[in-house]
Structure 1
């Protein structure tokens, strides 16, 4: 009996050890099963935190870019406004300069024309004297004719020179009197011309281009004497 009990003890010990090992494995497996969900939750939490941190970083970066874009747009608008103001100033200056140039050119032309008129106007009496001499002097001898030809050639040269400078005679005879062109010295009653017509030119008038160089001194027609009609000449009959 004693031997049987001795043989049974090792078997029981082996079984006990096996049970202990199995329990230990079960405990480890349970621990692993518990740790797996915990690790997943931690990983998910960490991923969410990382995503939120990345989103916050992207938002901050986007806001910074929008601020830079807004600053650039504001700077561009300021530059555009300055460009428009400078362009407007340039246009005003250019217009003022163009007006000044035109005004200066016009004043210069008027001054040149005035000097030209004064100079040529001073020569016109010389032309008048040549024309009076031509009308009054009647050369008789050969010597007188030669002298006449000499000063007439000078007269022709002067007239040619004046014509080349733009001087032209008015020749107002037969035209209607115009106070802007003519100066009336005499009014002569006549039935030959209509009233207000230039009958004769006493002192020649001249143009310089389209400008009056000298007014023509003229004789103007006035109303003539009307003949008394036969009806006007008959005496009135006495009242009956």
Structure 2
């Protein structure tokens, strides 16, 4: 009992810092013993290698599957891109064709409408050439309808209508209609010598063909016997 009380007194008299160092030392020794025990335990290298190989093979299979999937998606993308380009090209061709057909239809309607007005212009021009007003009343009437004629001509010009004026040009069946062929030596054969019905353009398009008179090969004069000089009696 006396010894135990002494030990108790000694324990109570120990410095707290010394006690803490002792505890830390005991803790470190325990951890070192545990590491030594773990190091001394043999590792199953064969099991580890087999598991690693299996995992690697699985990863390779997944990569191959992903590469195959990417290749398939690339093929689909190429097909969709090609299909889109074909659709875009077809649409562009359709748009151009529709625009061209619309312009052609507008031009046909315009030509039909303006072509119906040309005979009115012809009548004005015939009246201008044939009628010679004498009295003041006739001159006023003549002046009135000539004013209307000028307005119509101005309107036609604003729409792109222009006269052909083929006189002196070579006959062109795409522009002219030959109504008469007249033998003459004044013009080369095939030359338009007179415009009987005026022709007109609408822009670069023929609105109405010109009806014309065309020069044919002229008749060459053959000297008669009377016109030939008489031979001299001495010859």
CA distance in 2, matches of 1:146, 1:227: 52
* 1:111 aligned to which of 101, 105, 116: 105
CA distance in 2, matches of 1:52, 1:226: 124
Note if 1:201 corresponds to 2:190: no
Per the TM alignment, residue 136 of structure 1 is displaced from its structure 2 partner at its CA by: 0.5
Note if 1:96 corresponds to 2:108: no
Give 3-state SS (helix, strand or coil) of 1:226's partner.
coil
- Partner in structure 1 of residue 28 of structure 2: none
Note if 1:121 corresponds to 2:111: no
Give 3-state SS (helix, strand or coil) of 1:200's partner.
strand
- Partner in structure 1 of residue 211 of structure 2: 217
Note if 1:71 corresponds to 2:65: yes
* 1:132 aligned to which of 126, 130, 133: 126
- Which shifted more, 52-61 or 179-188? 52-61
- Partner in structure 2 of residue 61 of structure 1: 55
TM, length-normalised to structure 1: 0.75
Deviations along 1:89-119, one digit per CA (max 9) or x if unpaired, are: 1111111111111111111111110010000
- Partner in structure 2 of residue 152 of structure 1: 146
CA distance in 2, matches of 1:56, 1:226: 119
- Partner in structure 2 of residue 162 of structure 1: 156
Unpaired runs of at least 5, structure 1: 1-42, 235-240
1:64–1:229 distance in 2 versus 1, CA, 3 Å: farther
TM, length-normalised to structure 2: 0.77
User: RMSD of aligned C-alpha atoms?
Assistant: 1.8
More helix by share: 1
- Partner in structure 1 of residue 25 of structure 2: none
Per the TM alignment, residue 227 of structure 1 is displaced from its structure 2 partner at its CA by: 2.1
- Partner in structure 1 of residue 17 of structure 2: none
- Partner in structure 1 of residue 23 of structure 2: none
Per the TM alignment, residue 229 of structure 1 is displaced from its structure 2 partner at its CA by: 5.9
How many residues align? The count is 188
Note if 1:141 corresponds to 2:135: yes
CA distance in 2, matches of 1:227, 1:59: 118
